[in-house]
Amino acid sequence: MKPNDIVDALNDVDPTLVGDSAPGAAKKKKKTGVIAARVAALAAALAVIIGVGAVAAKRAADKPTPSVPSHTGETNRNKNGAPEDGAQPTDVQPVQQDDEANALLKALTAFAAEYPSQPKYPENGDMSDEDEMDAWYEALRERREKCYGAGISLYPFFSRSLSAFLDGKAGENSVCSPLNIYFSLAMLAEISGGETRAQVLSLLGANDIETMRTQANKVFNANYRNDGSAFCILADSLWMNEDVDFKDDTLKTLAESYYASSFSGKPGTEEFDTAVREWINGQTGGLLKDYVSEIKSDPLTMISLYSTAYFGDKWQAEFSADSTEQGVFHSPSGDTDAEFMKETNLWGEYYWGESFGAVKKDLQQNETVWFILPDEGVSPEELLEDAETLDFLFTMNKEADWNNFKRLRVHLSVPKFDVSSKRSLKEGLEKLGVTDCFTEKADFTPLTDTKPVAVSDINHGARVIADEKGVTAAAYTEMMLAGAAMPPEEEMEFTLDRPFIFAVMSEDRMPLFVGIVNDP
Amino acid sequence: MDDSEILRLFNERNEDAISESRKKYGPLIRTLALRLLGSREDAQETENDTYLKVWNAVPPAQPNPLAPYFSAVCRRTALDRLRARTRAKRGSGVYEESLTELEEAVPGSDGRAFADTLALKNALNSFLSSLTPEARLVFMKRYWWFGSVKDIARDLNMTEGAVKMSLCRTRSRLKDFLKEEQLYETE
């Protein structure tokens, strides 16, 4: 017998084993695993705004907060699934303002951060230029080796805080980016001192600021992507009142560790507000335009932190547009029509817990979207406080040793959705023990000696759009699913026609976006 | 386009079957061929041969799902092409590496002909199903898909050391297994 005999005999083993081990069949994708040539997309954007003003000016700064476009079902989408006012996934740049806006931002820049440069992904995953593909891949591999898994110690923070961040009005859609809130809070810790900082560090589970700084930098590098494949643009900025003295060392740390640029100007002026709006629109592909257009700074604001996340990727396997069907979504406020995207996965994976059932769908560049359907009688909001569900969501590779798992043919049915929400995180953070920064006890000495200052509010606006475009597939009748029951057959329907949770997880399982869809 | 739709095109002898297959499975089989052959030109030809072979086989064959089928045809075609080359031209390190590694699993690897090909195929099937899912995945990624240790480690979130260790254990289990099954010729 020769080794060749084994190699040859392997050719005829069970095809299921072959499929399961194929590059791209597991949750991790090969660099060339670009199977869906057609465009199907998921786009998301978020902005976190932290305003720090003089305590005396607190009331003035507590102006009615601008609102996010609540439900933009009629948004015109371009071929990438992003709204017409958004950027193309392939040409998004960290800052893509026009010349005028660029000049304005440049004039106000106090400390410019340099984003990590990444080799470009060959267009459409084309392998014909090996050098190009290799350069891209090597850079990715290096980032993985250095940075992946750096955020594992943040899982308790995500578990504890998720329901506070998604605590909207019952029955409404709710979206947040836990990862981006983490960056905002990390920056808040960086610019604060004493007990103010200690409270934030304690929430984030960090022992000291140095550890957190290193971790934040790694988590950023593991997730930031602007190489023409998918994009995940994380951006932070600091906006200062030019009348106040700020400490350069801290600005430098923010630029180097958090890639946060600092700007300085006169809050309350049209110039200042335009610059802020241009900056946010540039970082979020215009996805939050309606929200951003209402941003107006208060002249007494000393400093604002703006933190954004902008993400887009295509489905690994597209939904076929021809099989999309009108259906009824059972929203808490009553039945409503929705367009259901459908697919059948022959090697589907179904996970379940005491109160939920879950199916995942992969995006091309290694991110995964989990669809989690609470059992009948359980609301998504309740589920986000359920220890088992949180454990399932926030544990690295949890599905690998999850007992309640079955591989079977899954007929998945997901409503197209475009959900957004906007809320203050202040109350939620206070509940989680971050209180001092909002009061006169606030200590911002690492950034400025001017006193007294306090955070007036922390606002957060996010929007996620899931869409499809494709060809044909068969349609199946729908059936209600009792989530906790083990699937009895080799085949099942997973129909998200009542409120559900979605979670966009990065390759190293950081929650990029999590949301509750009560009304798609 | 889903598999049954592509299958329908093959059955109707509609040449769109090829372009749709290329669209859906091109990257997958191109990667496999490139790994084995190490040359883009050869990989391209292998890919084309694969479509032709599937075209000739379907119908009557009705493979569904198609991914493992396309991959298996491509793998066989690429191996044939590789063996037809002269040694000097051989380009694929990972194939040579795999053979060297597999020698550990073949106790009587002195070039004697193997007794029963069919028995070996069946034995491999039951051997693979006796492995833990992870060990099986690592083994298949290495010896079916000819992935590099580095790639496998990345795909499965393991260290390279862990992948090598897993492969080493599986090879030694395979050796024992083949001994028990008496599938090699003893002295």
Comparing alpha-carbon positions, the chain A residue that sits nearest to B64 is: A346
Answer yes or no: is pLDDT of B26 > 80: yes
| Burial of residue B44 (number of CB atoms within 10 Å: 0-12, 13-18, 19+) | middle
CA A474 to chain B, closest CA, distance in angstroms equals 9
Contact A466, A414 (CB under 8 A): yes
Average pLDDT estimate for A436-450: 86
% of chain A exceeding 70 in pLDDT: 76
Mean local confidence (pLDDT), A331-354:
85
pLDDT for the residue numbered A103: 81
**What's residue A52's pLDDT?**
60
At A89 the pLDDT is 33
CA distance B18 to chain A (A): 15
* Residues B46 and B7 reside in one and the same domain: yes
What's the confidence (pLDDT) of residue A30?
A: 29
pLDDT tens-place string over residues A278-311:
888 888 877 777 777 878 888 877 788 888 888 8
Residues B99 and B171 in one domain: yes
pLDDT at position A67 over 50:
no
Residue B35 lies in a domain: yes
A positions 224-283 inside 8 Å of B (CB): none
> Burial level of B6, CB count in 10 A (0-12/13-18/19+)?
buried
Helix (H) or strand (E) holding A348: strand A334-352
CATH number reported for the structural domain that contains residue B29 in this entry:
1.10.1740.10
Read off the tokens for A75: 């948004």
Residue B69 in domain: yes
Nearest to A359 by CA among A369, A371, A368: A371
Q: What ipTM, to 2 d.p.? A: 0.74
The more confidently predicted of residues A253 and A465 is: A253
B182 or A356, greater pLDDT: A356
Same domain, B78 and B106: no
Judge whether B186 lies within some domain. no
CB contact at 8 A, A307 and A47: yes
Q: Do B32 and B61 reside in the same domain of the chain?
A: yes
Q: For A201-214, what is the mean pLDDT? A: 93
Which residues on neighbouring strands pair with residue A41, listed in sequence order? A314
Task: For CA atoms A170, A172, A177, A180, give the dihedral sign.
Answer: negative
| Position A329 confidence tier, pLDDT thresholds 50, 70, 90 | very high
- Contacts A16 to B, Cβ<8 Å: 68
Q: Given B112, B113, B121, which is nearest A9 (Cβ)?
A: B121
Q: What is the pLDDT of residue A309?
A: 81
Contact B65 A35 (CB under 8 A): no
In whole angstroms, what is the distance from residue B160 CA to residue B153 CA? 5
Q: Which residue has the higher pLDDT, A479 or B140?
A: B140
What's the mean per-residue pLDDT of chain B? Answer: 81
**Which residues 84-123 of B are in CB contact (within 8 Å) with A?**
98-103, 105-106, 108-109, 111-114, 117, 120-121
B176 and B100: one domain? Answer: yes
> Is the domain of B25 the same as that of B68?
yes
Question: Within a domain: residue B187?
Answer: no
Q: Does A20 touch chain B (CB under 8 A)?
A: yes
Say whether both B18 and B61 belong to one domain: yes
What phi and psi values does residue B48 have, to the nearest 5 degrees? -65, -40
**Lowest-pLDDT choice from A96-105, A376-385, A427-436, B138-147:** A96-105
What does the pLDDT look like over A1-27, one tens digit per residue? 677 788 888 887 877 777 778 775 543
Contacting residues of A for B181, CB less than 8 Å apart:
none
Residue at B185 is within a domain: no
pLDDT, greater one: B59 or B7: B7
Nearest to A360 by CA among A490, A465, A505: A505
| Residue numbers in B near A23 (CB within 8 A) | 28, 31, 141, 145, 147, 151, 155
Among B66, B86, B106, the domain-final residue is B86
B29 in a domain, yes or no?
A: yes
- The per-residue pLDDT for A127 is 53
- Interface contact A7-B79, CB threshold 8 A: yes
State whether B98 and B176 are in the same domain: yes
Task: Determine whether B112 is exposed, middle or buried from the number of CB atoms within 10 Å of its CB (0-12, 13-18, 19+).
Answer: exposed
User: pLDDT class for A193, splitting at 50, 70, 90?
Assistant: very high
d(CA A121, CA A129): 11
What CA–CA distance (Å, rounded) separates A193 from A308?
A: 24
- Taking an 8 Å cut-off on Cβ atoms, the answer to whether A21 and B121 are in contact is no
pLDDT number for residue A62? 38
Nearest to A12 among B31, B111, B121 (CB): B121
Contacts of B31 in chain A (CB under 8 A): 23, 30, 32, 127
Does A346 touch chain B if contact means CB atoms closer than 8 Å?
A: yes
pLDDT tens-digit map of A107-122: 888 888 887 788 887 7
Per-residue pLDDT at A358: 92
Residue written as tokens 């040793």?
A: A401
Q: B145 to chain A: which residues are within 8 Å by CB? A: 21-23
pLDDT band at A471 (very low <50, low <70, confident <90, very high): very low
User: Directed axis angle between helix B160-180 and helix B149-156, to 10°?
Assistant: 100
Chain A partners of B108 at a C-beta cutoff of 8 Å?
A: 1
Domain final position from B53, B86, B119: B86
In whole angstroms, give the CA distance from residue A501 to residue A438: 31
Q: Residue A66's pLDDT band (boundaries 50, 70, 90)?
A: very low
Q: Which residue of chain B has the CA closest to A127?
A: B27
What's B126's domain CATH number?
1.20.140.160
| Each residue's pLDDT tens digit, A373-385 | 998 888 999 999 9
| Tokens describing residue B164 | 């090598």
The residues that bridge with A420 in the sheet, in sequence order, are: A463
Residues of B in contact with A347 (CB under 8 A): 65
CB contact under 8 A, B27 and A2: no
Could you tell me what percent of chain A has a pLDDT over 90?
18
Q: How far is CA B63 from the centre of its chain?
A: 17
pLDDT at A121: 76
Contact across the interface for A1 and B184, Cβ inside 8 Å:
yes
Report the alpha-carbon distance of residue A420 to residue A288 in Å, rounded. 9
Q: Answer whether residue A189 shows pLDDT above 90.
A: yes
Identify which of A1, A11, A19 has the shortest CB distance to residue B109.
Answer: A1
Q: Which residue of A has its CA nearest to B32?
A: A23
Per-chain mean pLDDT for chain A: 75
Residue to substitute from B2, B81, B100, B158, interface A, most A β-carbons within 10 A = B2
> Is the pLDDT score of A41 beyond 80?
no
Nearest in space to A275 (alpha carbons), one of A113, A109, A457: A109
Tokens of B6: 């592509």
Residues B23, B51 within the same domain: yes
Distance from CA of A344 to the nearest CA of B (A): 9
**CA A290/CA A280 separation, integer angstroms:** 12
**What is the number of structural domains in chain B?**
2
- What pLDDT score does A44 carry? 58
- The DSSP code for A22 is S
Q: Which of A23, A125, A346 sits opposite B65 (nearest CB)?
A: A346
**CB B104 within 8 Å of CB A1:** no
Q: Which of A366, A330, A321 shows the shortest CA–CA distance to A34?
A: A366
Q: Which two tokens stand for residue A175?
A: 């979206």
Which one, of A320, A330, A492, A338, lies nearest residue A415 by Cα?
A338
DSSP bridge partners of A414: A341
Query: B68 and A23 in contact by Cβ < 8 A?
Result: no
Does B176 share its domain with B99?
Answer: yes
Q: What are phi and psi of B65, to 5 degrees?
A: -75, 160
How far is residue A358's CA from residue A374's CA, in Å, rounded to a whole number? 9
Q: Does B162 touch chain A (CB under 8 A)?
A: no
Q: Does A320 touch chain B (CB under 8 A)?
A: yes
**A21, A28, A127: residue with CB nearest B144:** A21
Here the tokens at position A80 are: 């990438």
Residues B46 and B110 in one domain: no
Q: Is the CB of residue A403 less than 8 Å from the CB of residue A413?
A: no
Task: Work out the average pLDDT over A114-137.
Answer: 72
Domain-terminating residue out of B68, B86, B104: B86
Size of interface A-B (CB pairs under 8 A): 157
Which range, A12-21, A74-83, A88-97, B36-45, is most confident?
A: B36-45
Residue at B79 is within a domain: yes
Mark yes or no for CB contact A1/B112 under 8 Å. yes
pTM exceeds 0.80, yes or no? no
For residues A233-247, average pLDDT: 84
Instruction: Give B129→chain A minimum CA distance, Å.
Output: 9
The amino acid occupying position A225 is R
Contact criterion met (CB below 8 Å) for A357 and A348? no
CB-CB under 8 Å, B128 with A3: no
B23 CB contacts (<8 Å, ≥6 apart)? A37, B1
- Would B42 be classed as within a structural domain? yes
Residue A397 pLDDT class (50, 70, 90 cuts) = low
Domain assignment of residue B124, given as a range: 94-180
A54 vs A174: which has the higher pLDDT = A174
Question: Is A6–B125 a contact, with Cβ atoms under 8 angstroms apart?
Answer: no
The whole-angstrom separation of Cα A158 and Cα A1 is 55
Best B124, B138, B167 residue to mutate vs chain A (most A CBs within 10 Å): B124
Spatial separation of the C-alpha atoms in residues A157 and B100, rounded to whole Å: 48
How many C-beta atoms surround the C-beta of residue B21 within 10 A? 23
Q: What is the pLDDT of residue A58?
A: 35
SS3 A213: helix
Tokens 């509940």 identify what position? A431
Name the more confident of B87 and A246: A246
Are residue B103 and residue B159 in the same domain, yes or no?
A: yes
Mutation pick from A5, A21, A32 vs chain B, by most beta carbons of B within 10 Å, is A21
Distances (CA, A) of A500 to A371, A374, A383, B120: 7, 6, 10, 49
A11: nearest CA in chain B?
B72
